Structure 1
């Protein structure tokens, strides 16, 4: 399976409370997976290999830390660039290639526990959009505004970043769901970035068109995952942690529609 990207920016916890550190891993130098041996070789080694040897895992050495920040959220903006936002909405852009840190526009409203989804630009340049939303947004009954300060996007093109308010999911302005806040359980980028999908507890699953910024409801059910989902095109499967048991799992969501829960 060929690599779709060269670098992986890993955000890890630190020994200091409420701090996070960034490690930039060159995937062409770090071999995470060994090539599969021929079937004949597997058959010859199966009798000699002990169960203990078969279960041995290789210890990997992470590269040196390149940045340490305190009490912030991190969102990927491109292969080299990471957007960092604190709880007041102050934004910083870090370039892992040049090691430069520059200030960015503030969020229109600080987010307490945000989720984020990155959609790359379709024209192939180094940029894209980060859609940021409160994980447990509050109902907006009575609001007639077309947009909401609970949901916004960083639009990044050729070293220019703009922060734009977006329409809220329609359930936030539905009296049927106004009695309490509902948590976004699962979320993903779908259809190659043309839509983002959120699955809300006790409410349903919705998709946002990333070009027109219009919402549509997929169904009254929720996805069988918890947290962010990732699609692997080579396997045509979605990967993430299962709802409830929190097992690492895969699912085929190609038959997802309004009538049937995947």
Structure 2
């Protein structure tokens, strides 16, 4: 299914209101045809617009002006949201007591309930697990999905696997993106995990509500089925206080296998930063069993999407600034745990501007008084939405810091001028024309729109 809209949720932390906006991708992010997009790209390259990293030698040195930023068209003021989701009373949200202040930053979860059929059937889940379904096409609320047994966090990992035949319906898999270490017992050397002796208790612990599936082939009323927690939570024998975070995920083997890569952190610090390893596990949806693929990570960040027209997976690379890339995960399945897959295409969908600075002497009789200005960019968040037929929407949030100092003052002594904004881009991946790389792929960039996100967000 080719999607017409992308869904953007903005969160107001003061009121805990989640506002849903729907963006028409044909209006804002895509040209009517691939040829028109290529013509616009050629014109933009001629004018050296839309990105940083141009030839600075050919330009006159800047004086008192701030360094120029890449040129983007503004998305414009967002219209009124199509729906607002208010905070449930604590008693209705599965909490016996009022929420402590530290939970106020956690956002609710939003996901497409049946993305293979509609881009407007949205499942909203609160921190306490309460769910409600909003049909954006009909602008109506319905409640036909049971509540989660536990909160799934603000960024759950969601997989929608279509049925094998025309008569079989979809299955929706939902997994927490973070997992706390299991119960540990202490000895004089370290904390160890010891399985429970009671088989029934151990089964309940192994199949907790952290990983569930909703099978639409069941008879109504539907029910979330508990699945085994990822094996790395137990296999790694982590110490107390450790947490696991899923960094990347994909669906392979025609929907039979879910693959996730994760790393371990302790007290908020990633162990991989201190020389540790990441690891990848496969989950067989038929046997409902996990197996270890290897102590390596998938080479993308977030979710990679399979594009049947191109017979490849498209995602955002795991290294900054997270360019669009193509990966063949079927070969990784055949290779076993010998080596991690590597991208066979990486495209520069946005060139991050380089660090720039300018200076000017304020008074020629006092050359020591110099006005210095600098602009520095770095990426913060990113996400990718599959629109169907090789088309994608990327959202990248950037942080800009402008500094200004005069004379002998150090830049750190002056308060910087900080700005955060997002860039929405429509991209298309197509096969190369005749005469180009045989069997290769190329990316065609369509439109980029700049918008300011004053609140936390979710794009799906």
**What is the TM-score with the length of structure 2 in the denominator?**
0.48
1:150 aligned partner: 210
How far, CA to CA, are the matches of 2:167 and 2:127 in structure 1?
30
Match of 1:72 among 101, 108, 123: 108
Would you say 1:192 and 2:254 are equivalent positions? yes
1:154-173 map, 5 Å: 154-157=214-217, 160-173=221-234
1:22 aligned partner: 20
Match of 2:7 among 10, 28, 31: 10
Bigger radius of gyration = 2
Match of 2:244 among 150, 172, 182: 182
Which moves more between the two structures, 76-85 or 130-139? 130-139
Secondary structure in structure 1 of the residue aligned to 2:179: coil
Question: Against the structure 1 CA distance between its residues 119 and 207, is the aligned structure 2 distance closer, same or farther, given a 3 Å change threshold?
Answer: same
Number of residue pairs matched by the alignment: 254
> How far 1:64 sits from its partner (Å)?
5.4
Would you say 1:228 and 2:303 are equivalent positions? yes
Secondary structure in structure 2 of the residue aligned to 1:161: coil
Which moves more between the two structures, 224-233 or 81-90? 224-233
How far, CA to CA, are the matches of 1:211 and 1:29 in structure 2?
41
How far, CA to CA, are the matches of 2:328 and 2:153 in structure 1?
30
How far, CA to CA, are the matches of 2:109 and 2:22 in structure 1?
17
> How far 1:88 sits from its partner (Å)?
0.6
2:58 aligned partner: none
1:261 aligned partner: 340
Question: Against the structure 1 CA distance between its residues 128 and 25, is the aligned structure 2 distance closer, same or farther, given a 3 Å change threshold?
Answer: farther
How far, CA to CA, are the matches of 1:36 and 1:206 in structure 2?
38
> How far 1:60 sits from its partner (Å)?
5.2
Q: Which blocks of at least 5 consecutive residues in structure 1 are unaligned?
A: none
> How far 1:53 sits from its partner (Å)?
9.2
Would you say 1:99 and 2:139 are equivalent positions? yes
How far, CA to CA, are the matches of 1:124 and 1:96 in structure 2?
26
Secondary structure in structure 2 of the residue aligned to 1:149: coil
How far, CA to CA, are the matches of 1:161 and 1:7 in structure 2?
28
Contact 1:195–1:209 under 8 Å retained in 2: yes
> How far 1:94 sits from its partner (Å)?
1.2
Would you say 1:112 and 2:110 are equivalent positions? no
Secondary structure in structure 1 of the residue aligned to 2:320: coil
Match of 2:171 among 114, 117, 129: 129
How far, CA to CA, are the matches of 1:212 and 1:120 in structure 2?
15
Q: Which has the higher helix share?
A: 2
Q: CA RMSD in A?
A: 3.4
Question: Against the structure 1 CA distance between its residues 109 and 16, is the aligned structure 2 distance closer, same or farther, given a 3 Å change threshold?
Answer: closer
Question: Against the structure 1 CA distance between its residues 113 and 57, is the aligned structure 2 distance closer, same or farther, given a 3 Å change threshold?
Answer: closer
2:344 aligned partner: none
How far, CA to CA, are the matches of 2:237 and 2:142 in structure 1?
44
Question: Against the structure 1 CA distance between its residues 168 and 226, is the aligned structure 2 distance closer, same or farther, given a 3 Å change threshold?
Answer: same
